[in-house]
Amino acid sequence: MEENGQEAFKTCYRGRAGQLFHAAYMRMGKVLFALHILRTTEKRLTQKDIFDYGFGAGTFYRYCPKDSRLFGVEQDPVVCQEVATMLGSRGYETVDLQPIEIERWKEHPLLARRYDLFLCSHVLEHLPDPVDFLKTVRPCVKLEGAFLGLVPINERAENPHHVQKVDRAVVENWASDAGYEVVYYEENDPFRYWAQPLFTVDSGWKHKLAQAMSLDLGISATLLGERLWFGWGKVFGKLTFSKPTQAAFLLRPADAGHRLKRMEEDGAQLR
């Protein structure tokens, strides 16, 4: 990742567990969209093993049921400890957050486990080889589990940190090449479309303006909730000629359906 200008993400979440930071749309827009997809596809998180690759400040975890088991990786060991402490104070009992060395990711001990949900939010566009990443984590997805990916789309200005330009065809090709099938795909979130160029700037007045907009949108989205916010998205897009800025997709290993059917048939025969 360092070769592609990703060094800035190593410690950027350190000490950022405050309410305003979590409320900003740069986090809440992704979290609410993920929750929207899970509700739409009827994926329950109660008593489930959940892995978040690149969990940032841990905002998604805060919306998981207290009896879910939380796992994840980030580059900064201090962030791992800070988020684990925050989650412990909020009543989560099973939390295993570990630092990651990108170059040695395939050797990480958490890859030895299997998860009901493997979340990868706004990460794949940063990777030089998303297919290789998807292949690596495929064995971690339980037979009845799912990989949930979120990526930016329709970017009006180039983001210097993004090395992949994503659309539906790209997602489907990634999934096919990595041995998955696409269970669900949705494009939504037109709210930042015209202002998107502001969110590619890392400093100066444009960056400050983007931060203010992010907080305003984030508070509004949080108050309305994912159902109303993303239900209003398509109408907002038509009224303002705005395109969706996020795509979300649910994947499962390509042979999972056949294996589940075989298990059901075997169980029926035993009965």
Q: What is the pLDDT of residues 185-200, one digit of tens each?
A: 999 999 999 999 999 9
pLDDT digits (tens, 9 = 90+) for 63-98: 999 999 999 999 999 999 999 999 999 999 999 999
The confidence score (pLDDT) of residue 75 equals 94
What is the mean predicted confidence (pLDDT) over 34-54? 97
In the chain, beta strands by DSSP E: 49-53, 69-74, 95-99, 115-121, 141-152, 180-188, 246-253
The confidence score (pLDDT) of residue 218 equals 95
What is the mean predicted confidence (pLDDT) over 127-139? 97
Integer Cα distance of 72 and 58 in angstroms: 9
The confidence score (pLDDT) of residue 1 equals 41
Integer Cα distance of 79 and 250 in angstroms: 27
Cα 134 from chain centroid (whole Å): 14
For the domain spanning 2-270, the CATH number is 3.40.50.150
The confidence score (pLDDT) of residue 243 equals 97
Burial of 250: CB neighbours in 10 Å, binned 0-12, 13-18, 19+: buried
Integer Cα distance of 86 and 69 in angstroms: 15
The confidence score (pLDDT) of residue 3 equals 46
pLDDT digits (tens, 9 = 90+) for 204-220: 999 999 999 999 999 99
What is the mean predicted confidence (pLDDT) over 243-260? 86
The chain-wide mean pLDDT, for the chain, equals: 91
Among 21, 143, 23, 133, CA closest to 73: 133
251 has a pLDDT exceeding 90: yes
113 has a pLDDT exceeding 90: yes
DSSP state of 101: -
261 has a pLDDT exceeding 80: no
The confidence score (pLDDT) of residue 2 equals 43
249 has a pLDDT exceeding 90: yes
DSSP state of 182: E
Predicted structure pTM score: 0.91
What is the mean predicted confidence (pLDDT) over 143-166? 96
pLDDT band of residue 14 (cuts 50, 70, 90) is confident
Q: Which residues make Cβ contacts (< 8 Å) with residue 210, sequence separation at least 6? A: 195, 198, 199, 201
The confidence score (pLDDT) of residue 217 equals 95
What is the mean predicted confidence (pLDDT) over 119-127? 97
Instruction: Kindly state the percentage of the chain with pLDDT values over 70.
Output: 89
104 has a pLDDT exceeding 60: yes
41 has a pLDDT exceeding 80: yes
The confidence score (pLDDT) of residue 5 equals 58
